[in-house]
Amino acid sequence: MTPVDFLLEQIYQSLPIAETTIPKKDLRIIVSLKKQVQQHSFLTENQSRLLIKILKENLKSILVINPDAEEIIFHNEWSQAFRVIEKIRKIYRDPAHADALLIEFNFDKKLKDIIQRLNETIDGVVVAVGSRCYAVSFTEQNIHAVITAFAKEKFEIDQKILDFYNDIKKILDARENPFDVFNLKDSKLKAAVEQGVGVIDRTNLNLLQDRKFRYQYQISEKNQETDLATVIANRQSPKIFINSIEHSLTKVLTALKNLHRFPLLVIFEGHDAKINKNHLDILSEAAAHNILDDQVGIYFRFETAADPLGFNHAVSSLGYNKILSEHTSIAGIANNKLPKFMVKNGWKPMSVISFTNGFKNNKSSVYTNDVDLVIYYGDKQPLYGGIDAIV
């Protein structure tokens, strides 16, 4: 008996006839399936069922192309076995996305709907990191929300994540919150917070709010002031956007001083000397106003021919050519290149300011993965998710 996929070939070869009698929607599917087979990717079982359905609905037209079409469709034989698609359903972590919980699956409308609804319950937003992979911030709230949402969907879940989830669920079921900063049960966590943040009471709300991502505790009380330091402290994500038109860099550095957020790493665009010279001027003015300019180091340069405005000369004149040390309060690097000596030195920033929205998915961004305050400073907000546009 002639295989159904041979009939598919005959229909494709007879398109001038088929185009006059078969609906365009059905014909598009037929052509698509034929091209797929032509590219050595045989049909799946679901695709075979769809093709049989279309052939039956258009039998009268197909009989003109092959008088035996009805019998071929009835016997439903194929020249080879159907292609089996590997079913992927995983929840895991990956070093390339150290601060994220990853959810990966083949396209499935039901699962896609669950992903969309997650935005209503998680901390932050769901971000697509591939055609079939999604990421959310790795927090207790998100672990609980994700595992709860996909619990009945037969996902392969990393055991460590599952253990986290079970611990979180026990706490929620007991209606206790050991992560409330004013009622910490873990003595080690409490000691770490007291050492790194200071006194744990309502007189220290700004710093307690500011360090919540660093120490992973929870705090509901907020200082109601509207100054920039308070607004930054009350942020909803470790990554924020500050509009350079609304707030000067001087004001931003003053806020960081009030939050004890130095040393600071500044990310320059790194390609256009004119743009970078302008940002250097802004930085030097802000650093001088905040009495921070004595320990600033800028660790990239331009070729002489590509530096018409004197970026390199300005670095030298300002005294920003200091060797990186434990005393460096502000370090500036190009977005496209992380100096090896910075990694070897062990110098780590308490906060980051990026003049470029391109600061993501590169060595510099990986180096700062554990920094709990990253400020995108410019006149246009980054388009990708996970950034709290506070002002």
Report the candidate in 176, 87, 36, 15 with the shortest Cα–Cα distance to residue 5. 36
Q: Is 184 helix (H, G, I), strand (E, B) or coil?
A: coil
In tens, the pLDDT along 79-123 reads 999 988 778 899 999 988 888 999 999 878 889 899 989 988 888
Question: 165, 171, 192: which is closest to 181 by C-alpha?
Answer: 192
Residues 118/44, Cβ–Cβ less than 8 Å: no
Quick check: bond before 263 cis, omega within 30? Answer: yes
Q: What's the chain's average pLDDT?
A: 91
**Measuring CA to CA, which residue among 273, 316, 282, 272 is closest to residue 298?**
316
Q: What is the mean pLDDT of residues 125-135?
A: 88
Residue % of the chain over a pLDDT of 90: 65
User: What are 264-275's pLDDT values in tens digits?
Assistant: 999 999 999 999
Is residue 209 over pLDDT 90? yes
In the structure, what pLDDT confidence band is assigned to residue 176 with cuts at 50, 70 and 90?
low
Are 111 and 118 in contact by the 8 Å Cβ rule? The answer is no
Cβ-based burial of 307 (10 A; exposed 0-12, middle 13-18, buried ≥19): middle
Three-state SS at 39: coil
Distance in Å from the first CA to the final CA of the chain: 71
Cβ atoms within 10 Å of 172's Cβ, excluding its own: 12
pLDDT of residue 208 exceeding 90, the answer is: yes
Condensed to tens digits (0 to 9), the pLDDT of residues 319-377 reads 999 999 999 999 999 998 999 999 888 899 999 999 999 998 888 998 998 899 999 99
Side-chain-side CA neighbours of residue 368 (13 Å): 28
Q: Which helix H or strand E contains 6, and what residues bound it?
A: helix 4-13
Nearest CA among 372, 87, 73 for reference residue 238:
372
pTM for the structure as a whole: 0.59
Which pair of tokens denotes residue 361?
A: 């998915």
Among the residue ranges 183-192, 249-258, 286-295, the one predicted with the least confidence is 183-192
Regarding predicted confidence, which is higher, 17 or 289? 289
For 22-38, letters b (16+ CB in 10 Å) and e give: beeebbebbeebbeebe
Q: Which of 39, 54, 44, 41 is nearest to 7 (CA)?
A: 54
Sheet architecture: strand order including 89-94: 127-128, 133-137, 97-105, 89-94, 156-157
Average pLDDT of span 184-192: 90
Q: Please name every residue paired with 25 in a beta bridge, in sequence order, or none if there are none.
A: none
The rounded distance, in Å, linking the Cα atoms of 32 and 124 is: 39
Q: State the pLDDT at residue 191.
A: 94
Q: Which residues pair with 194 in a beta bridge?
A: none
